Structure 1
Amino acid sequence: MNKKLLSKPEALARWNGSLRNEHLRLSNPEVYLQVMRMATADLQDLELFDPLEVHDLFEQAQAAYSAALEEQFAHELYCRASSYNVVPVGGYRRIGSIRQGNYYEENRTEAFSCDGMVIQEPDRLRVVLRTSGELGVILGLQLIGTDGRVYHLVETARMVEGRMLQGVDDPEAYRVLIDLAQEAFEEKKWARYRLLRDRVRYSPFKCCPACCDSFAQREDCEKCLGQGFVTKNLGNARPANDGHLCG
């Protein structure tokens, strides 16, 4: 593409197309912000926009990014950089895992090759197996199988800047992470918030569905016993009689 051939309306339309990439904004806000910074720098290089216009565009991108940090837990989406356990809804044994876009069956025999891939199309994400065709379609953080069965995609880690980031499995440390992340968000310390938020997400716990981690309600909550969170069902094994596990 020859940038010099773009008119100002055409360049702005292209920039707005990147701004409206909701899947990227909500699934990976950090990459979204990097994309928008590059798109804004490209506009600046065209010399079609004055400095105030460029500044306003960057502020729009920053606002969209900041909103994504707040919205992300309510609109969680599949992210290619992440690893997931594929766990049946209402079940405990995972059927496989997805790692950076590659699908691996749980009881696989091949040591090196993956068993399938996540294929991104304009209007959907499909998991296609190498030998038997489509396994299902990903909607949010669920896999809807071609046979109608539904599976949770439980995030366990994410590749960030070449490092595989994971959470913590100690309940007390997890409680501290939640509180520190909330404090960083309220103070708009985004770099610190991102670091803490990521470790919260990859940890094997989730917000208690009964008390919603409400300070006023969690003390008497029988489901989480005052912790504000319950254990995620990672599909590793059928659990013992443990009232804290929530699928």
Structure 2
Amino acid sequence: MTAAGGGAEDEALVGGMVNVGAVFRRGAVVERPAPRTAHALHAHLLALKEYGFDAAPTPVRLLADGREQLTFIPGDVALPPFPHWVMTEAALRSVGELLRRLHEASESIAVDASVEWPQALADPEGGTMLCHNDVCPENVVFRDGRAAALIDFDQAAPGRPLWDVAMTARYWVPMLDPESAAAVHPAGLDVPTRLRILADGYGLTSQERAELPGVIEQATATCRAFVADRVSEGDPVFIQALHERGGWQRWDRVQGWLVAHRESLSAALLH
């Protein structure tokens, strides 16, 4: 779920496909359904601040009715169809830089192994660092054209830093065939160039750049399985979205496109 900039008190915050209509801003506080991992997430968010990452909401409290309160982060959040300002190359680079800052703080925070972290979008190979796993445009707050903060850590789970980069690339480059991208992204985005810009912003090593296209394919398969699970459970939001976005044929097309362009994407990253 996302936060929108500006607005009056007691306003409903829109966006996202989960918690629709259940997130409200009340002054300086956002109130929303608490994820199952809320206790551990609140501890993690507080630890991020201790390690110098101030670009995430601060937990306020858990409520008895199963909701949580977090600080509201002012700024602009883009909703689909995405406007040009959020898809500029400068914006993209700033997303990579922000993700790197998150990871540098997260690497110092021990992951609570007793917590059943959500697995739907988690790195299947696991890891020792808590990844965000859902750095989509709806979950990044911008100020003056630059990524300023991350919100909605509900899908956070242990994984490799490169997994988080791959998941982020899917949404921001985007890692889609042109027909699929045209549905919600501005026309004419240069995927290989944008993938390199994201990698540069994050500061990927040569080895990580070589591995990234394969991890993106892995992340895409995980996202497809996530959607399939939601559809099989009868979730009306995901059923409608799947229908509106071209059904399973779109997923086939995207995955085929990634495989077909693996070499050119690798070349762009290592250029």
TM-score (norm 2): 0.24
Q: Which has the higher contact order (CA 8 A, sep 6+)?
A: 2
* Higher alpha-carbon Rg: 1
TM-score (norm 1): 0.26
Higher strand residue share: 1
